[in-house]
C-alpha cells in the first residue's frame, strides 16, 4: 500500500495560512463596540501546528518595508510606513513627544514686575514660548557648568505702560535676544571687586557662524504674554537651555504626534442603484464614490478614499512641529534616539 | 511631595549598572534582565523583537511601579540558545532594522524635497 504524505491531502494548506487566519494575523478588525485582533501576532511559533514559520527575518523586513510621504510642509508632516509593527510606531510617537531635545527658557531673573500677573505665573508663560533655534547647535547645561555661549541663550523683556496712556498687551516679540550674554550683575561680597555677570560668555553669539545670518528669535511673534495697565512695568531677563520633553512639556518639539492604522474598507456585498447614492451621501468624509456600471446602467458604490475613514499592518504617522526643527528632521532625530537607547540597553555581561 | 525628580527618569545614578541579569534557579534557560531608567518605549519594542526569534519560548516585560523607573524583561529560551544570546541578538537585529528604516526614510524625504524644488 502506498504511503501518502500528509501534505498531499488536498485540504491541508501548504505553506500558507487559510484565508480567515491570514486575515486575523494581518488586520485589526473593527467590531461594533471595540477593535478585535489588535495585538500583532509576532510570536514565531504561533502557527507551528500548521507548519508555517511566523518568524520575521531581517531580509523579509527589508523587502517589505516602504515609506510613503503624503504631506510635507514647514510645520506638519504626514507619512505612511508599511511593514512595521505597532510597537515601533508607538515608540517613535513616544520619543517624538518626550525625548528629542529642544531649547526653552528655564531661568528668569526678575528685576521689576508691577503687573497684575504674578512672578511665577509670568515665568511659567514665558517658559512655554517656543524658540526658533536648532537645539543641535547647543550643549546641555549640567549642574556644575557655568552658563556660557555654548549652552545658554539670553533674552530680555522690558516693557512699561505710561501712566497717562492706554493699556498695552505684551506680546512675545518684545523679548529681545542678547547675543552678548546677561547684562545683570551678581551682588558681590567684595565691594571693590569687578561685579560678575550671571553668564560668562567668552564671545558674542552674534559672531558665531550659525547665528550671523539668522539671528535667534521666537517662532511666533504674536503670543500674548501679559497685559499692563497704566503705570505698570515688567523688566526681566530670561535664560534658555537645552532639555527634554521628559523633564517638562515646554521642551517638547512637537505640538503633537500621533499614529493610526490605515483603514481598509471592504464592501461585503454589492451596493447598487439608489442605495449606492445614499451611501455616498451619508459618508461625511467622502470615502465612497459612485461609478456607473456600464453593462447594466446602474450605479455602484466603490471605496475611493479609505484613508479618510477614521478606523492592515500599515501605519500612518502624523507629526505637527512647533517649529524649531522641521518635521522630517524631527523624525530622523527620533530614529537616532531610538538607536542610542537600543545600544545603551545591550548588556555587557557574557 | 513624594514624587521623585523628573530627571530621575533617565539619569542612571552612580554605582548602579544600566542592565543587570539574574538567572532563574528553578527553570533552565530562563533569566530576568533589569534595565534601569527605561520605560515602555524600549520595553515593548524589545519584547516584540524577542517574539520573532524562533528560539525564544517566553518573552515579556513589565514596569514594577510607575514611579520606579526601570523595566524587567523575562526571557525563556530553548536549549539551543541562552537568554543572554537571545537578548543581544534581538537588540542587534533591531539596530539593523532601524538603520534600514532611517536610510529608507531619508531617501524618500530627499526625493520629495528635490521634486518640490524642481517644481519651483
Please judge whether B108 and A69 are an interchain contact, meaning their C-beta atoms are less than 8 angstroms apart. yes
For residue range A276-326, what is the model confidence (pLDDT) as tens digits?
A: 666 666 665 666 666 665 566 566 656 666 665 554 333 445 555 555 666
Cell representation of residue A281: 451621501
Q: Of A29-33, A37-41, A203-207, which has the strongest mean pLDDT?
A: A203-207
Cell 523586513 locates to: A61
Q: How far from A262 is each of A36, A311, A313, CA to CA, in Å?
A: 15, 7, 8
Q: What is the DSSP letter of B19?
A: E
Q: Could you give the CA distance from residue A298 to residue A155 in angstroms, rounded to a whole number?
A: 69
Percent of chain A at pLDDT > 90 equals: 21
Helices A327-345, B40-51: axis angle to 10 degrees equals: 70
Q: Could you give the CA distance from residue A37 to residue A92 in angstroms, rounded to a whole number?
A: 22
For residue range A127-173, what is the model confidence (pLDDT) as tens digits?
A: 999 998 888 888 888 877 788 888 889 999 999 999 888 999 999 99
Contacts of A31 (CB under 8 A, 6+ apart): none
pLDDT score for A113: 94
Percent of chain A at pLDDT > 70 equals: 61
User: Do residue A105 and residue A233 come from a single domain?
Assistant: yes
pLDDT band at A251 (very low <50, low <70, confident <90, very high): very high
| Residue A294 within any structural domain of the chain | no
Report the CATH number at residue A239: 2.170.120.12
What dihedral angle (degrees, nearest 10) is formed by the CA atoms of A273, A275, A280, A281?
120
| Residue A82 within any structural domain of the chain | no
pLDDT score for B31: 92
Lowest mean pLDDT among A71-75, A346-350, B13-17: A346-350
| Mean pLDDT calculated for residue range B83-104 | 88
From A207, A226, A251, give the residue that closes a domain: A251
Q: Could you give the CA distance from residue A143 to residue A120 in angstroms, rounded to a whole number?
A: 22
| Mean pLDDT calculated for residue range B87-109 | 88
User: Do residue A235 and residue A145 come from a single domain?
Assistant: yes
Nearest-CA residue of chain B relative to A342?
Answer: B91
Please judge whether A61 and B97 are an interchain contact, meaning their C-beta atoms are less than 8 angstroms apart. yes
| Mean pLDDT calculated for residue range B38-60 | 90
Helices B40-51, B83-119: axis angle to 10 degrees equals: 110
Pick from B21, B41, B96: which is nearest to A95 by CB? B41
User: Do residue A109 and residue A178 come from a single domain?
Assistant: yes
**A306 CA: distance to closest CA in chain B (Å):** 23
pLDDT score for A227: 93
Query: Could you give the count of Cα atoms lying within 13 Å of A304 in the half-sphere of its Cβ?
Result: 13
Pick from A58, A85, A346: which is nearest to B48 by CB? A85
User: Do residue A50 and residue A116 come from a single domain?
Assistant: no
**B108 — contact with chain A (CB < 8 Å)?**
yes
Q: How many Å separate Cα A292 from the centre of its chain?
A: 43
pLDDT score for A103: 92
Give the global pTM: 0.77
Q: Are B83 and B77 in contact (CB under 8 A)?
A: yes
Q: Is the pLDDT of residue B42 over 80?
A: yes
Strand order in the sheet with B19-23: B19-23, B30-36, B70-77, B56-62
Pick from A42, A67, A339: which is nearest to B51 by CB? A42
Which residues share a beta bridge with A72? Answer: A77
Segment 27-86 of chain B within 8 Å of chain A by CB: 33, 35, 38, 40-42, 44-48, 51-54, 56-57, 84
pLDDT band at A257 (very low <50, low <70, confident <90, very high): confident
User: Do residue A163 and residue A221 come from a single domain?
Assistant: yes
Cell 465612497 locates to: A288
User: Do residue A48 and residue A176 come from a single domain?
Assistant: no
Lowest mean pLDDT among A1-10, A136-145, B63-72, B106-115: A1-10
Nearest-CA residue of chain A relative to B91?
Answer: A342
Q: How far from A95 is each of A161, A256, A257, B43, B96, CA to CA, in Å?
A: 43, 11, 10, 13, 19
Q: Is the pLDDT of residue A8 over 60?
A: no
Q: Is the pLDDT of residue A68 over 90?
A: no
Please judge whether B42 and A342 are an interchain contact, meaning their C-beta atoms are less than 8 angstroms apart. yes
Lowest mean pLDDT among A87-91, A166-170, A287-291, B69-73: A287-291
| Residue A69 within any structural domain of the chain | no
Q: Are B29 and B58 in contact (CB under 8 A)?
A: no
User: Do residue A122 and residue A207 come from a single domain?
Assistant: yes
| Residue A79 within any structural domain of the chain | no
User: Do residue A130 and residue A243 come from a single domain?
Assistant: yes
Q: Of A16-30, A54-68, B72-86, which has the strongest mean pLDDT?
A: B72-86
Mean pLDDT over all residues of chain B? 87
pLDDT score for B15: 83
Please judge whether A349 and B21 are an interchain contact, meaning their C-beta atoms are less than 8 angstroms apart. yes
SS3 assignment, position A344:
helix
Q: Could you give the CA distance from residue B105 to residue A8 in angstroms, rounded to a whole number?
A: 44
pLDDT score for A71: 81
pLDDT score for A168: 92
Q: Is the pLDDT of residue A2 over 50?
A: yes
Q: Could you give the CA distance from residue B22 to residue A146 in angstroms, rounded to a whole number?
A: 42
- On chain A, the residues whose CB falls within 8 A of the CB of B106 are 332
pLDDT score for A312: 34
Q: Are B60 and B43 in contact (CB under 8 A)?
A: no
| Residue A316 within any structural domain of the chain | no
Nearest-CA residue of chain B relative to A59?
Answer: B97
Q: Is the pLDDT of residue A9 over 80?
A: no
pLDDT score for A197: 74
User: Do residue A106 and residue A246 come from a single domain?
Assistant: yes
**Which of A25, A59, A337, A346 should we substitute to test contact with B (largest number of B Cβ atoms within 10 Å)?**
A346
pLDDT score for A225: 93
Q: How many domains does chain A have?
A: 2
Q: Is the pLDDT of residue B120 over 90?
A: no
**Which of B49, B76, B107, B109 should we substitute to test contact with A (largest number of A Cβ atoms within 10 Å)?**
B109
User: Do residue A16 and residue A123 come from a single domain?
Assistant: no
Nearest-CA residue of chain A relative to B105?
Answer: A67
User: Do residue A128 and residue A214 come from a single domain?
Assistant: yes
pLDDT score for A84: 81
Please judge whether A346 and B99 are an interchain contact, meaning their C-beta atoms are less than 8 angstroms apart. no
Please judge whether A65 and B101 are an interchain contact, meaning their C-beta atoms are less than 8 angstroms apart. yes
Domains and CATH numbers, chain B: 6-119 (3.30.1360.10)
From A251, A273, A288, give the residue that closes a domain: A251
Q: Which domain holds residue A3?
A: 1-55
pLDDT score for A289: 66
Nearest-CA residue of chain A relative to B59?
Answer: A43
Please judge whether A244 and B10 are an interchain contact, meaning their C-beta atoms are less than 8 angstroms apart. yes
Please judge whether A350 and B84 are an interchain contact, meaning their C-beta atoms are less than 8 angstroms apart. yes
pLDDT score for A268: 63
| Residue A273 within any structural domain of the chain | no
- On chain B, the residues whose CB falls within 8 A of the CB of A347 are 19, 21, 33, 84, 87-88
Higher-pLDDT residue of A93, B13:
A93
Which residues share a beta bridge with A234? Answer: A113, A159
pLDDT score for A159: 94
| Residue A342 within any structural domain of the chain | no
**Which of B33, B52, B95, B99 should we substitute to test contact with A (largest number of A Cβ atoms within 10 Å)?**
B52
| Residue A87 within any structural domain of the chain | no
User: Do residue A107 and residue A245 come from a single domain?
Assistant: yes
Amino acid at each position: 500500500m502506498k504511503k501518502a504524505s500528509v501534505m498531499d491531502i488536498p485540504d491541508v494548506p501548504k505553506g500558507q495560512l487559510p484565508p480567515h487566519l491570514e486575515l486575523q494575523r494581518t488586520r485589526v478588525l473593527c467590531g461594533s463596540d471595540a477593535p478585535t485582533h489588535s495585538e500583532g501576532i509576532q510570536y514565531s511559533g504561533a502557527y507551528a501546528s500548521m507548519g508555517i514559520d511566523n518568524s520575521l527575518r531581517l531580509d523579509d523586513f527589508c523587502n517589505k518595508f516602504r515609506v510613503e510621504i503624503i504631506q510635507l510642509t514647514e510645520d506638519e508632516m504626514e507619512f505612511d510606513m508599511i511593514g512595521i509593527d505597532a510597537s515601533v510606531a508607538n515608540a517613535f510617537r513616544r520619543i517624538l513627544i518626550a525625548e528629542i531635545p529642544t531649547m526653552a527658557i528655564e531661568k528668569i531673573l526678575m528685576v521689576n514686575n508691577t503687573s497684575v500677573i504674578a512672578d511665577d505665573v509670568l515665568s511659567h508663560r514665558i517658559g512655554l514660548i517656543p524658540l526658533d533655534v536648532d537645539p543641535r547647535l547647543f550643549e546641555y547645561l549640567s549642574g556644575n557648568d557655568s552658563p556660557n555661549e555654548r549652552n545658554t541663550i539670553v533674552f530680555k523683556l522690558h516693557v512699561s505702560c505710561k501712566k497717562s496712556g492706554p493699556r498695552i498687551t505684551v506680546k512675545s516679540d518684545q523679548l529681545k535676544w542678547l547675543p552678548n550674554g546677561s547684562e545683570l550683575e551678581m551682588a558681590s561680597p567684595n565691594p571693590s571687586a569687578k561685579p560678575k555677570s550671571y553668564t560668562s560668555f567668552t564671545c558674542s553669539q552674534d559672531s558665531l557662524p550659525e547665528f550671523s545670518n539668522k539671528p535667534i528669535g521666537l517662532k511666533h511673534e504674536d503670543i500674548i504674554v501679559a497685559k499692563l495697565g497704566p503705570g505698570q512695568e515688567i523688566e526681566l531677563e530670561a535664560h534658555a537651555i537645552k532639555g527634554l520633553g521628559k523633564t517638562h512639556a515646554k521642551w517638547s518639539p512637537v505640538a503633537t504626534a500621533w499614529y493610526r492604522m490605515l483603514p481598509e474598507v471592504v464592501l461585503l456585498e454589492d451596493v447598487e442603484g439608489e442605495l449606492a447614492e445614499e451611501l455616498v451621501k451619508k459618508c461625511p468624509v467622502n470615502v465612497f464614490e459612485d461609478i456607473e456600471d456600464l453593462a447594466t446602467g446602474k450605479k455602484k458604490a466603490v471605496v475611493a478614499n479609505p484613508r479618510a475613514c477614521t478606523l492592515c499592518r500599515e501605519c500612518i504617522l502624523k507629526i505637527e512641529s512647533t517649529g524649531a526643527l522641521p518635521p522630517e528632521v524631527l523624525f530622523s532625530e527620533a530614529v537616532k534616539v531610538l538607536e542610542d537607547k537600543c545600544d545603551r540597553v545591550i548588556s555587557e555581561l557574557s | 511631595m513624594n514624587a521623585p525628580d523628573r530627571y530621575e527618569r533617565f539619569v542612571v545614578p552612580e554605582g548602579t549598572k544600566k542592565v543587570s541579569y539574574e538567572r532563574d534557579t528553578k527553570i533552565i534557560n530562563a533569566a530576568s534582565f533589569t534595565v534601569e531608567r527605561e520605560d515602555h518605549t524600549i520595553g515593548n519594542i524589545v519584547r516584540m523583537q524577542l517574539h520573532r526569534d524562533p528560539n525564544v519560548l517566553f518573552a515579556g516585560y513589565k514596569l514594577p511601579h510607575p514611579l520606579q523607573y526601570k523595566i524587567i524583561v523575562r526571557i525563556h529560551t530553548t536549549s539551543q540558545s541562552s537568554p543572554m544570546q537571545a537578548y543581544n541578538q534581538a537588540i542587534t537585529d533591531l539596530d539593523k532594522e532601524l538603520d534600514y528604516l532611517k536610510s529608507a526614510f531619508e531617501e524618500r524625504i530627499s526625493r520629495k524635497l528635490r521634486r518640490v524644488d524642481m517644481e519651483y
